Amino acid sequence: MDLRKVNCLSRIMDIIGMRSSKTHYLPDSVDFYSSNNSESLASDLCQSIGKILTETIRKRGRASMAVSGGSTPIKLFKEFSLLSIDWTKIDLTLVDDRWIDAKNADSNELLVRTHFIKNKAAKVNFIPLKNNSKTAKEGQIYSEKMLRKITLPFDVVVLGMGSDGHTASLFPCSEELSEAMSLNNSNYLISTSPKTAPYQRLSLTARVIFDSNNVYLHLNGSNKLNTLESAMEYRDASKMPIYAFLEKGLTIYWSP
């Protein structure tokens, strides 16, 4: 048999097996997809999101998405940059960002500009969260106005997760968490000042994420599964904010 066919068949069998092994503690509202390594996971997630964006553009003329920062999505961003879709018809923003200069190494905006907005995706309509305001709270007003220029709900949101169960910049240690998680909060954004992480931040509110058409949680490593299990044991979004999103429903893409 052709070696390429053997490798392809092996990979299909591997993925199917992993698909059927959804961890028992996850609720029915969660779809679980896994691959055998972070590279193939990023490629598969990119292709899934690409199909959604393409179909949305076909139906509505434009599509919108929000992505997270950190080291995990770098491979995904590189895949996006090579994806052959009409990026001129896609509005891109961040799930959250630190209130620091966009040239700072810790900036999510810098991460996206470095790894995503290039090659075929160079002409995407990118709307950063950071502006020239002195504080995140002051900057929230202008950033809200910018986000309201694009069509919401988001078609795609890609979340990450920290070991403490935070997602976006919705930290359990943050005094703003209750307001950020409230479904009565009509704002798109909230400024937060987590006690266990550096910098002021600007983040999408939970309601905006909940309302999105497709929400993905992109994870690598067994420690992330341990965090999810802890969240399902606590069942308390004030202790581990990711729990609220698991209960609401999303699709997890995970690799070892």
pLDDT tens per residue, range 146-167: 999 998 999 999 999 999 999 9
Q: What is the mean pLDDT of the chain?
A: 92
Residue 21 confidence (pLDDT): 55
Residue 187 confidence (pLDDT): 96
Q: Could you give all domains of the chain from N- to C-terminal order, each with its CATH number?
A: 34-206+213-250 (3.40.50.1360)
Residue 3 confidence (pLDDT): 35
- d(Cα 42, Cα 99) in Å, to the nearest integer? 28
Band (pLDDT 50/70/90 cuts) for residue 2 is very low
Average pLDDT rounded to a whole number, residues 165-178: 97
Task: Give tens-digit pLDDT for 179-194.
Answer: 999 999 999 999 999 9
Residue 23 confidence (pLDDT): 77
Band (pLDDT 50/70/90 cuts) for residue 145 is very high
Task: Give tens-digit pLDDT for 66-107.
Answer: 999 999 999 999 999 999 999 999 999 999 999 999 999 999
- Who contacts 140 (Cβ-Cβ below 8 Å, separation ≥6)? 187, 189, 190, 191, 202
**Residue 172, preceding peptide bond in cis (omega within 30° of 0):** no
Task: Give tens-digit pLDDT for 35-74.
Answer: 999 999 999 999 999 999 999 999 999 999 999 999 999 9
Six-digit token string for 61: 């003329």
171 neighbors 156 (Cβ within 8 angstroms): no
Band (pLDDT 50/70/90 cuts) for residue 10 is very low
Bridge-based pairing of strands 201-204 and 189-192 is antiparallel
Residue 16 pLDDT > 80: no
- CA dist list (Å): 126 to 19, 107, 112, 169, 186: 33, 15, 9, 20, 23
Residue 4 pLDDT > 60: no
Residue 170 pLDDT > 70: yes
158 neighbors 218 (Cβ within 8 angstroms): yes
Residue 143 confidence (pLDDT): 98
Is the Cα dihedral 92, 94, 100, 104 positive or negative?
Answer: negative
Residue 223 pLDDT > 60: yes
53 neighbors 65 (Cβ within 8 angstroms): yes
- The residue among 201 and 1 whose pLDDT is bigger is 201
Residue 22 confidence (pLDDT): 63
Average pLDDT rounded to a whole number, residues 125-144: 97
